[in-house]
Structure 1
Amino acid sequence: MSAKGEGSASMRMFGSVARSLREARGVSTDELAAHVGYSKSLVVKIERGERMPPPAFVEKAGVLLGDGGGVLRSAACHLERAEFPSWFEEYAELERAVVSLYTYDTHVINGLLQTEEYARVVLGSYCPTLESEEVERRVRARLARQSLLTRAPAPQLAFVIEEWVLRRPVGGRAVHRSQLGRLLEAAALRHVTVQVMPLSHTAHAGFDGPMHLLETPDLRLLAYLEVQGRSVLVDGRNEVSKLHQRYAMIRSQALSVGDSARVIEQIAGEL
């Protein structure tokens, strides 16, 4: 499915109310932007529910739009930021309750295994650039997801990671070393396996890219695919079956759990 705005339902509702009031008064977005002292692009994003309206926007817009009943202020009282981008929300909800989760990662270490510092560098590198407050909010949300690793009953978790991902010094040596240590800690958990796809393989079954395979409490098998701010949740039995076959081959071609741990330790020792 295509990417959508990243606001919460309450933000989208506020934006709809603001747009309705503006249109009812015959005020253009340019006129509203000039009155509230913000850019037209910000006004448009607020009306789309993609940006949280600053308090000054609520007050000044209410004056211009003749909001005598305080509709905007009332709507603002219920504003909540979305915990995750809208295209990720459905997956995040499913992830919280999985019985099993198998992942294959090709660009960065999976968010469930990232340290706070590593996550901050990854999210801080987002383009278009995110505001610092938004980066920190997303870091907190990402770390909160990691409760899955300590949840009871414990889900079965498997991670296959391309070796080049482990060799990229994201955030510099200190952050890199800490992140590799975090991987080894996770791999020591009885319900978690971490495997490395070595650079020495000239070919393997993962060339089509990363994937997440989920099993829900009602034993449904799903697949989640993501690229460039777009995602798709796959529930067709034939498609999911093919992805499970592919993942089984990827795991068989990756290094064993023991050899993978030794590679991670070796990379850490080279820092």
Structure 2
Amino acid sequence: MARAENKVEANGTAHLVAALAKALREQQQLSQEELGRKIGYTGSAVSAMETCAQPASDQMLVRLEETLGAGLGVFERARELIRLDRYPPQFKGYMRLEQRALTLSSYSTFVVHGLFQTEAYARALIGGGYPPLKDERVEELVEARLARRALFDREPTALIELIVEESALRRVIGSREIMHEQMLHLAERARLRNVTFQVLPMDCGLSGAHFGDRGDMALVEILDHEHLVYLEAQDESLLVSDPGKVATYSQRYAKIRSQALGPHESLGLVEQLAGERQ
């Protein structure tokens, strides 16, 4: 539903899209109702988009590109910018890196990594956080999180590695049904040729060492082969670029990986958990 406060909250990209869509619509001598019919929306929805009372959704931008874009790709580019604007401020810098990742190696402790989440799992996780968010904001964040999946199919191919704590797989988020779907999705992703998936078992500390005791991390190699580390805790983030520190984090990640189950065993555990939650 369109809201008056959206006109104030809308970012610069949304206002630019609105102005461009209106100008191209009028250039083609289309009314709001006529454009709406062409793109599968009501005239009221087009009006709300043009006034930023309800900025263009991702799907509307796809249809605007097909109908008004004239092959310029402006609305397609706007999709990327608007998705980026929807992320929390502390996450935007990392998202630019993730989109450019040549290799991405992540270690997750409490929940399934965002790249591997289902829509229902993401919605339960985001909607259940604190402080509570408005329903509209929850949906924006869910849509933005799911858009990150494009990395799996991007060219050039990104190599994606995930190590996740076994406890995160056993922790029920939302419902048993949501977790069943999440385990099936995780198993599906784990089978992709550009993905390596491993589970750090809960008894890994029996040897006297738990190399993952300092929390989540993401090691990123971007397309120009620069190596960085991203850390996030309690809505605060840190991007590490110092080569010496990056090397230390990379070594720690390697030690975590040495304690994890192999990919075949890890996939078997996820499939087992999926069966238990039917």
Partner of 1:192: 195
Partners in 1 of 2:166 and 2:133 — Cα distance?
A: 28
Corresponding residue for residue 179 of structure 1: 182
1:123 alignment partner, SS class: helix
Do residues 237 (structure 1) and 240 (structure 2) align?
A: no
| Aligned-pair CA distance for 1:9 | 6.0
Task: Give CA deviations for 1:182-223 in whole Å, capped at 9, x if unaligned.
Answer: 111011001101100001222321101100000011100000
- The CA deviation string for residues 70-98 of structure 1, in whole angstroms up to 9 with x for no partner, is xxxxxxxxxx7922111111100110010
Unaligned runs of 5+ in 2: 1-8, 14-51, 54-81
Say whether the 8 Å CA contact 1:8–1:86 is kept in structure 2: no
Q: Deviations over 1:207-251 (max 9, x none)?
A: 011000000111000000000110010000111000000001111
Picking from 128, 132, 140, the partner of 2:135 is 132
Could you tell me how far apart the structure 2 residues matched to 1:140 and 1:119 are? 9
What is the rounded CA distance, in whole Å, between the counterparts of 1:136 and 1:110 in structure 2? Answer: 18
- Describe how 1:6-21 pairs up with structure 2 within 5 A: 10=12
Within the alignment, does 1:207 sit opposite 2:213 as a pair?
A: yes
Residue of structure 1 in register with 2:119 after alignment = 116
1:165 aligned partner, one-letter code: A
User: The residue matched to 1:199 in structure 2 has which SS?
Assistant: coil
**Residue 126 of structure 1: CA displacement?**
1.7
Residue 86 of structure 2 aligns with which residue? 83
Gapped regions of structure 1 (runs ≥ 5) = 1-6, 12-53, 56-79
Q: Distance in 2 between matches of 1:199 and 1:90?
A: 32
Deviations 1:1-55 (CA, angstroms, capped at 9, x unpaired): xxxxxx78649xxxxxxxxxxxxxxxxxxxxxxxxxxxxxxxxxxxxxxxxxx96
The aligned amino acid for 1:94 is L
The aligned length equals 201
- Aligned to 2:237, what secondary structure does the other structure show? strand
Partner of 1:149: 152
**Aligned equivalents of 1:252, 1:154: Cα separation in 2:** 25
Q: Which residue of 1 aligns with 2:97?
A: 94
- For 2:172, which of 169, 174, 189 is the aligned residue? 169
CA distance in 2, matches of 1:226, 1:139: 18
SS in 2 for 1:176: helix
Write the letter of the residue equivalent to 2:201: P
Shift of 1:265: 1.3
Q: Provide TM-score, normalisation by structure 2.
A: 0.69
2:274 counterpart of 1:268: yes
Q: TM-score, normalization: structure 1?
A: 0.71
Q: CA deviation at 1:151?
A: 1.1
What per-residue deviation string (whole Å, max 9, x for no partner) do you get for residues 114-137 of structure 1? Answer: 000000001001211000000000
Three-state SS of the structure 1 residue aligned to 2:104 is: strand
1:258 aligns with 2:264: yes
Structure 1, residues 137-172: CA drift from partner, whole Å, max 9, x if none?
000000001110111221111000000000012111
- Identity fraction in percent: 42
Residue 103 of structure 1 is matched in structure 2 by: 106
CA RMSD of aligned residues (A): 2.0
The structure whose residues are more often helix, as a share, is 2
The 1:8/1:250 distance shift into structure 2, 3 A limit, reads farther
Question: What amino acid maps onto 1:136 in structure 2?
Answer: E
Of structures 1 and 2, the larger Rg is shown by 1
